[in-house]
Amino acid sequence: MSFETAVFLGLMPVTVTITPFKRYSTDGYTNPTYSTAQAVNYRARVMFSKHLDTAPDGRSVTPVHVAWLATTTLIDVRSKFTYLGTTYRMIHSDRIMDDTGIHHTKLSFHGG
């Protein structure tokens, strides 16, 4: 990860929790199942950012928030993203690169 200095981490003042997607349940309703033992906290910057985007299934959507995480991990959009006690539905998860390689992860998502 390229966030070795406190200068970059200072841009990410909040902590968010990602609970990884495990699988879809077999209860007949295809509800998602999440990992209970592996929720991970990340330093992040979360901002309001309303813009037109395309969801992975091709629908046009308007994400209302963007988060930059101090990690280079690619996060599954089916995972559970929690910020200040509210869970958001992710639309995109991208790893952002700079001249030295992968720098951080950017998420776009809908509110609560």
pLDDT in tens, 6-65: 667 777 889 999 988 877 776 667 777 777 768 889 999 888 877 777 776 777 777 678
Q: pTM for this structure?
A: 0.72
φ/ψ of 68, rounded to 5, equals -110, 125
CA atoms within 13 Å, Cβ hemisphere of 33: 10
Place of tokens 């308007």: 62
DSSP state of 6: H
pLDDT in tens, 69-91: 888 888 888 888 888 888 888 88
The vertex-87 CA angle with 80 and 96, nearest 5°, equals 60
Given this structure, which CATH class describes domain 6-110?
A: mainly beta
Most distant CA atoms of the chain, gap in Å: 49
